[in-house]
Chain A
Amino acid sequence: MGNIKKLLSGNEAIALGAYHSGIAVATAYPGTPSTEILENLSQFKDIYAEWSTNEKVAMEVGLGASYAGVRTLVSMKHVGLNVASDPFLAAATTGIHGGLVVVSADDPGIHSSQGEQDNRYYAKLARVPIVEPADSQEAYEFIGIAFTLSEQYDTPVLFRVTTRVAHSKSVVELDDALIRPHHKKSFYHNVEKYVMLPTHARNRVPHMHRRMAELIEYAETTPLNQIIDGRSKLGVISSGVSYQYAREVFPEAHFLKLGMDYPLPPKMLHSFAARVDKVFIVEELDPFLEEAIKELGIQVEGKKFISRVGELNKTIVRHAAEKAGLITVPNQPSDIGAIHNLPGRPPLLCPGCPHSGAFFVLSTMGQRAKILDASGKSQGESKLIITGDIGCYTLATYPPLRAMDTTACMGASIGQAIGLEKAGVSSKVVAVIGDSTFMHSGITGVIDAIYNAAKIAIVILDNGTTAMTGHQDHPGSGISAQGVVTKAVDIEQLVRGAGVNDVKVVNAFDIKSIRAALKSALDSEEVSIVIVRGKCAVRNKARQNSRRVDIQKCNDCEVCLRIGCPAIYKEEGKIIINALTCMGDQCGICEQLCPKQAIGIFRDSK
């Protein structure tokens, strides 16, 4: 009987591969498309898995575990590695003890991120190797190779995946022969390796360069890199999911498939190029491979024909190949005449979302409905400047709320608010941040605001979870990744401890209290914080007494439509509330806002 076959996503395969490789510790902060790696690892109760406060802490916890001699997996999304870059580069300098593999899940095409970046450059910066799988089977197998590589060369390994590998499911044949027991923990006092005083660090740098030279030798023979013979005179070099598209576009070509993107194997590349008439490189995002291969003096083409922007697919690669004169495509079906102006389904805050009330109040206080001209841009300063952050609540940017002026990266709202205020804007400035994002990197902003006496207001939207990535726990929830009840960090006490005197906690579904608290916070001459607390609607199973509209009382003022609640809509001139999706008693915001008391339960009427 053969081995078991399963249909696994790349992330599930990474988790299982890491578990089979004998990891003892796994750390992460949730972020699309990496989240499911730790979610899956947290199911194994014989290892330790944690949601860390942020990616920097995740990397530091991972580094400590590695120093203790055990295999450790740290995972994050591409921008997470920006946050973790300091300890990541430190880990590259000190090296490791137990194998340390760092998963970076890049998001070409920006499915759910604030930007697009090619994290392969981090490995070059840190002088560490990159391992990159092209499907779930490779994700499962390559993780084990990455751990061996890490230990053999005393280096963290950057394990790079992209959304399409992380989130696609493909067949994985499990292999019992890959299963390794945990290493025994063993920490040794070794200051020259672990204490990076300048004198010690100076000795580590040549070690890193020696390591790279040895890794180049390794790259020549590793099973991660493979040559697949073809029948034509064309040679294609590719890695990751790009390889899959390339295989379909060039069925006849010779392939050099790189499972190790960095460092590259010069001898293998030269001999591959010598066997073919022409070499074409298919890679997503930046010309990372192309630059390195050209540097070796090998003539190649690639990015001249393939965009550096966004995600690839077969159609894009095929067009590029055609433009490069490598293939001729038989007649394609003509483009379909599509329906003009098809309505989209833009993302919206959910019915009963605890963020809606606070944003409605901010939107009306800032007179946001009026700030835009016909081109969608304002001609002057917003009446109330609202700096935003990363989470579901970023959706409040869209009409009808339009309650956001900025969103940059995790935790930036508070620092940006301080900067705007210190630069002397004439409007009041309020920062809006979610609870998980606040724990991640909002706290340092609050400390800065207190220390530098910034006159800003901060709204912390506390829904008790990391909602956008699928409801992971965080320090404020007091439940660990493995479901252990620990201690909840109290946001109110935390900010009071930092020196904020003016802290109010309000119910997210009580418009009057939110308005009063926000007004007082904006009038205040010191840092003031309003914590708006309410359960995430997706997690709220209680739902009764959905609201209805009394059409006799309704005067069609459309105030309720300005909440942006997807359950409220207008059909044939009448306001209707969708009884199936309305959260009823759990919310009631529209009822509070209706100036004609036309919204209620109205059991008897229809």
Chain B
Amino acid sequence: MVEKQDILLVGVGGQGIILASDILGEVALQMGLDVKKTDTLGMAQRGGSVTSHLRIGEKVWAPLISLAEADIIIAFEKLEAARWAHFIKPEGMVIINDLAIPPLSISLGTHQYPGDEEILNVYKQRTDRIHLIPGSRHADSIGDIRTLNIFMLGLLSAALPFRIDNQLWEKSIAAFIPKKIADLNMRAFNAGREVAESVNI
């Protein structure tokens, strides 16, 4: 019996969040689990706030994760991490990519981008399991910033309470990623996993 997992992926349009949750959904499906996944994009446009709700378990009813019930939040951007913090359950796991993408209102001077401590403190009200990881820098050093989403999946794979066979990840990633960049992305995935292990995620 696999424990139910509610995983919330958040970030900014263009970071590959939907693809990452599609891959994880496929992995869960291949494990024979029930899966529900819903993406909220708002109006179609570049650079908007993106969330993907992924629920896996023996039986899942609602497609949306409820407030204060997310087992894991994986944030591709810091402001978005702050925006969706109220979804984390007490003692839930939070993984945040150390990247700021300031919206236009910051440069127009009407708003301020929150500081790291401020963001982490919001989560600390519910959990101590918070990891701020320079994912974009890792992805860049792997050779392509666009592998960030697969790097984050690597981190996430270590955060799950059950171990998933590496071959299954590989197969599912290959199903969604063009062949010529599959190797690059597997490197990103493994790098994510190694980083996760080094910080005890």
Chain A: minimal CB distance from B31 (Å) = 11
B143 at the interface (CB under 8 A from A): no
Residues of B66-102 contacting chain A, CB below 8 A: 66-68, 79, 82-83, 85-86, 88-90, 102
A206 at the interface (CB under 8 A from B): no
> In whole angstroms, what is the CA distance A211 to B95 when docked?
57
Q: Report the stretch among B113-121, B130-138, B153-161, B178-186 that lies at the interface.
A: B113-121
Contacting residues, chain B, for A337 (C-beta < 8 A): 122, 125
Which of B26, B61, B106, B118 makes the CB contact (< 8 A) with A248?
A: B61
- Is A348 within 8 A of B104, CB to CB? yes
> In whole angstroms, what is the CA distance A329 to B20 when docked?
34
Q: Report the stretch among A53-61, A164-172, A262-270, A283-291 that lies at the interface.
A: A164-172
B1 at the interface (CB under 8 A from A): no
> In whole angstroms, what is the CA distance A244 to B59 when docked?
11
> In whole angstroms, what is the CA distance A336 to B68 when docked?
9
Contact (A343, B36) CB under 8 Å given A241-B63, A538-B46:
no
Q: Report the stretch among A82-90, A145-153, A526-534, A566-574 that lies at the interface.
A: A566-574
- Is B45 within 8 A of A347, CB to CB? yes
Contacting residues, chain A, for B67 (C-beta < 8 A): 315
Residues of B46-61 contacting chain A, CB below 8 A: 46-49, 60-61
- Is B63 within 8 A of A164, CB to CB? yes
Residue of B nearest to A311 (CB): B64
Q: Which size bracket describes the interface of A in this complex? A: 35 or more
- Is B38 within 8 A of A164, CB to CB? yes
A595 at the interface (CB under 8 A from B): no
> In whole angstroms, what is the CA distance A422 to B61 when docked?
55
- Is B29 within 8 A of A5, CB to CB? yes
- Is A338 within 8 A of B64, CB to CB? no
- Is B62 within 8 A of A245, CB to CB? yes
B166 at the interface (CB under 8 A from A): no
Which of A333, A339, A347, A576 makes the CB contact (< 8 A) with B68?
A: A333
> In whole angstroms, what is the CA distance A61 to B119 when docked?
54
- Is B63 within 8 A of A7, CB to CB? no
- Is A339 within 8 A of B119, CB to CB? yes
Contact (A348, B45) CB under 8 Å given A313-B66, A343-B106:
yes
Pick the most buried of A5, A170, A467, A569: most chain B CB atoms within 10 A of its CB.
A170
B200 at the interface (CB under 8 A from A): no
- Is B85 within 8 A of A336, CB to CB? yes
> In whole angstroms, what is the CA distance A423 to B67 when docked?
50
- Is B82 within 8 A of A169, CB to CB? no
Which of A171, A338, A342, A571 makes the CB contact (< 8 A) with B79?
A: A342
With A170-B37, A342-B111 already in contact, 4 other A-B pairs whose C-beta atoms are closer than 8 Å: A112-B42, A339-B82, A346-B103, A347-B48
Q: What are 19 pairs between A and B in contact, CB < 8 Å?
A: A5-B29, A112-B43, A135-B36, A168-B38, A168-B63, A170-B36, A241-B62, A244-B62, A314-B64, A333-B89, A336-B68, A336-B85, A336-B88, A339-B82, A343-B79, A346-B103, A348-B47, A348-B104, A350-B45
Interface residues of A (CB under 8 A from B): 5-7, 32, 111-112, 135, 164, 167-171, 241, 244-245, 247-248, 313-315, 332-333, 335-339, 341-348, 350, 392, 395, 467-470, 538, 561, 566, 569-571, 576, 581
Interface residues of B (CB under 8 A from A): 12, 22, 25-26, 29, 34-40, 42-49, 60-64, 66-68, 79, 82-83, 85-86, 88-90, 102-114, 118-119, 122, 125-126
